[in-house]
Structure 1
Amino acid sequence: MFLAHSCLYAMLLALGTIVMANEKKCDLVGEVGHESVKELAVLKRLEPLFGQSFETSVDDGKEKYTYKFRVCQEVSSNYSNAGLLQIDKQNEHVVVVGRINDTHIISGSEWIMLTYMGGENYDSHCGRERRRAIVMITCNSKTLASGFTLLGEEREKEKECSYTFELDSKLACPPEDSHLSVGSVFLITFASVVAVYIIGGFLYQRLVVGAKGMEQFPHFIFWQDLGNLVADGCDFVCRSKPRNVPAAYRGVGDDQLGEESEERDDHLLPM
């Protein structure tokens, strides 16, 4: 029984792998192996969105449509290569707006523009040319993909009309710079040196010298006197008054007394 379930699971897994391998994806301009390197790189960035479906509705009173969109995959197998569909809510009529087998993609600093060409022809607008869908994927670092909306449809021109949509995604954001600044490298190095000095000195004082208590701290006497050394240095650099100026008041010393006559007491001696 267990063996049968294992075989069934393996068969389903293999079938799923074959289906995924055969599923249609975006076909860029150019033959296989000759596509634009830049377009292929941008398409690679969008791979996390493959398999996700997006939908938005529009109701302006006269026209009520639902738009369904997938990134580089078919929205429905009933419509060959359809990457974006327009569904009329009133009569369920479906129009293919753009196909994944005619894909153009460009990018900027904080945006990616995905264009599906080859949609169904307009009935009377835009010289009856084929429809196209433009999806502007804009940078939003807080979401993988959200906010799919229709910005508008341009169909009053004679040609190059389009449906323009917007989608928020962090995939359109520029890659974060992970390089450390010079200041960060200096701080990390300084902190590492200090940590090695303290830990290594502590172990040396305790295990080799046999110190106890606060004396286990490396160069304890030096750091204990550091405050006095800093104060002396500050006094030497910052004091504005000369250090050797005589005091304003001085007591009377022996050097200020004049020499007395050696015979000042002679008159007191008896004759």
Structure 2
Amino acid sequence: MFLGRGRSLARSCLPSVLLVLATAAMAGANGCDPVGKKGSESSRELALLKRLDPLLNHSFTTIVENATEKYKYVFQVCRGIADSGNTSGLVQIDEKNRKTTVVGRITETHVTSGTEWIMLTYKGGDKYGSHCGNEKRKAMVMITCNRKTLAGDFTMVGEEREKEEECFYLFELESSVACPPVDSHLSVGSILLITFVSLVGVYLIGGFLYQRLVVGAKGMEQFPHFAFWQDMGNLVADGCDFVCRSKPRNVPNAYRGVGDDQLGEEPEERDDHLLPM
């Protein structure tokens, strides 16, 4: 009886186990594989590939057309392109005859970076027919910094195939993943300002609660040290008036004419002493 139950449990769990294994195998096949033996890859390259994780579920397309040719390029970051194999990271599709050419594979990935760019290179593409010494194609995608978008415009810059070797396709993609982290350190002035504002807030809130709940003040008297700040305001106003007034405080009286109404009654002059005795 127990043996039968064990077999039944194994049958019910088998599809789930197979699904997990298939998912893990697909994830391993679709991930970028830096050049080098497994376990000996560059730690810098692995860190850069980790930065590209936000772009894994995006597919990018651009069309290049001239008088005689029209090609569509499809690109995915560390993911195989559907209908082109699990290892095709960038493909070229001839719009006239629907021929698909693999430009680069994610199994031969190289990645490097600068201040505001990341260069993702897929090697191991299909061989050239009559150019570049029949070497394998190589795609180079320059991911440039644009903080406003995660997955911006994908464009083809050009193809270098006039050399005997080391030919390449060059593309450009705008994305915020290539931007350096924003430095969020505060300056000394900012720290002092934040500290001052915090202390003033604590003083006002704490003083208001104390005056209202403990002292029982009402109205403007709830403001902490209201009388002190009122006197301080008057002193500041007096100082501003003293410094900024347009004329001196002690102004001498200006000259004014004297009217008849301002003259006092003069005493009567007696000239009796001028008469002859």
Please indicate the TM-score interval, normalised by the length of the shorter structure.
0.7 to 0.9
Match of 2:10 in 1: none
> Does residue 211 of structure 1 match 2:210?
no
Instruction: Say which SS state the counterpart of residue 119 (structure 2) adopts.
Output: strand
Distance in 2 (alpha carbons) for counterparts of 1:136 and 1:13 = 36
Once the two structures are superposed, the pairs formed by residues 171-210 of structure 1 within 5 Å of their partners are 171-210=177-216
Q: Deviations over 1:65-124 (max 9, x none)?
A: 111111111113643521111111121222111111111111111111111111111111
> Does residue 160 of structure 1 match 2:163?
no
* Number of residue-to-residue matches in the alignment: 243
Relative to the length of structure 1, the TM-score reads: 0.79
Question: Structure 1 pair 206/79, CA: closer, same or farther in 2 (3 Å)?
Answer: closer
Distance in 2 (alpha carbons) for counterparts of 1:175 and 1:66 = 34
Give yes or no for contact 2:123–2:136 (8 Å, CA) kept in 1.
yes
Question: Structure 1 pair 80/14, CA: closer, same or farther in 2 (3 Å)?
Answer: closer
Distance in 1 (alpha carbons) for counterparts of 2:251 and 2:93 = 101
Q: Which runs of 5+ in 1 are unaligned?
A: 1-6, 250-271
Match of 1:60 in 2: 66
* Amino acid in the other structure paired with 1:191: V
Distance in 2 (alpha carbons) for counterparts of 1:29 and 1:14 = 27
Instruction: Say which SS state the counterpart of residue 136 (structure 2) adopts.
Output: coil
Instruction: Say which SS state the counterpart of residue 101 (structure 1) adopts.
Output: strand
Instruction: Say which SS state the counterpart of residue 75 (structure 1) adopts.
Output: coil
Provide the identity percentage: 64
Question: Structure 1 pair 78/207, CA: closer, same or farther in 2 (3 Å)?
Answer: closer
State which of 22, 29, 32 in structure 2 corresponds to 1:23: 29
Match of 1:88 in 2: 94
Distance in 2 (alpha carbons) for counterparts of 1:10 and 1:33 = 29
Once the two structures are superposed, the pairs formed by residues 111-260 of structure 1 within 5 Å of their partners are 111-234=117-240
Q: Deviations over 1:207-236 (max 9, x none)?
A: 222222211111000111122222444567
* Amino acid in the other structure paired with 1:147: D
Relative to the length of structure 2, the TM-score reads: 0.77
Give yes or no for contact 2:29–2:86 (8 Å, CA) kept in 1.
no
Distance in 2 (alpha carbons) for counterparts of 1:148 and 1:33 = 32
Distance in 2 (alpha carbons) for counterparts of 1:141 and 1:77 = 33
Instruction: Report the RMSD for the aligned CA atoms in angstroms.
Output: 2.8
Q: Deviations over 1:132-180 (max 9, x none)?
A: 0011111111211121111111111122111111111111111122222
Q: Which runs of 5+ in 2 are unaligned?
A: 1-12, 254-277
State which of 69, 72, 76 in structure 1 corresponds to 2:78: 72
Question: Structure 1 pair 247/176, CA: closer, same or farther in 2 (3 Å)?
Answer: closer
Give yes or no for contact 2:29–2:87 (8 Å, CA) kept in 1.
no
Shift of 1:187: 2.2
Distance in 2 (alpha carbons) for counterparts of 1:53 and 1:147 = 11
Give yes or no for contact 2:32–2:79 (8 Å, CA) kept in 1.
yes
